[in-house]
Amino acid sequence: MPDQPRRQYIISEVAVRRAFLVGGAGMIVVILALLTLITTRPQGQFRALDDSQHRALLAEAEARLAGFELLADGMARIDIDHAMELVVERGVDLVFAEVAPAVDPTAVDPTAVDPTAVAEADGSAIYAAQCMACHQADGSGVPGAFPPLAGHMADLYAADPAYGVQVLLYGLQGQIVVHGVSYNGVMPAFPRLSDAEIAAVLNHTMVAWSDADELGDAFVPYAPDDVAAERDRPWAAGDVLARRGELPLD
């Protein structure tokens, strides 16, 4: 019987075992490492974010808003003292926008145009462009600074329909009292508005807040001619104040 040849391996049994051991251990290390990576939370200095920065920003924004009162309808009312400070600080730049005529005079036979219709068409736009900044969108004015027109135009009209026209043509300056509140401001004159535009904006102030309803039939909408009739007075704002003094207003 020939000798069973002794098996000779390049790698000994021991080496193979060792390799298994090392490989197994290595795998366990890798798995452990992966598990650690997946489960550990990121390390470092973390603290619950307090919103101090946010608060600082809010406080800053509020400081800039000081003097404004937020109203329910998304509008804000500015405190008159603050308004005056802003006027002193920044000055006032009143924009006297040119109001485009509703009807191109060259395109239409003038005798065919109803002047009151033209006037009514523009009133609310002229009010928004020329009057709203002071007398406010709802005509309530700013107590102590700009008198209300809502609920007051009827009194003015009843006292003298021409008075409103005069205020717009010549302005008004000096102390007046409206609804028990005293005003001593300057109402700018609007001589640049056309007769139709002045009639239109006055009609708007009469109907927008129901003053015309209060007067019923006593109110006849302003026509451009009513404005033309008042245009040639040699008047300034002080003369309108004097005229106001003669009117039966409380």
**Residues at the contact surface with ligand HEC, assessed by CB under 6 A:** 130-131, 133-135, 146-147, 149, 156, 164, 167-168, 172-174, 176, 178, 183-188, 190, 201, 205, 244
Structure tokens at 24: 């197994």
Give least dist CB 168 to ligand HEC, A.
Answer: 6
For ligand HEC, the closer CB: 228 or 249: 249
First-to-last alpha carbon distance for the chain, in angstroms, is 145
For ligand HEC, the closer CB: 12 or 184: 184
Give least dist CB 208 to ligand HEC, A.
Answer: 10
**Residue in the block written with tokens 């404004």:** 68
Identify residue 81 by its one-letter amino acid code: D
For ligand HEC, the closer CB: 176 or 228: 176
Give least dist CB 129 to ligand HEC, A.
Answer: 9
Give least dist CB 145 to ligand HEC, A.
Answer: 7
Query: Residues of 234-245 as b/e, b for ≥16 C-beta within 10 angstroms?
Result: ebebeebbebbe
For ligand HEC, the closer CB: 93 or 107: 93
Torsion of CA 151, 153, 157, 158, to 10 degrees: 20
Give least dist CB 48 to ligand HEC, A.
Answer: 52
Residue from 33, 32, 14 nearest 22 by CA:
14
Residue from 210, 47, 68 nearest 139 by CA:
210
For ligand HEC, the closer CB: 118 or 167: 167
d(CA 147, CA 123): 19
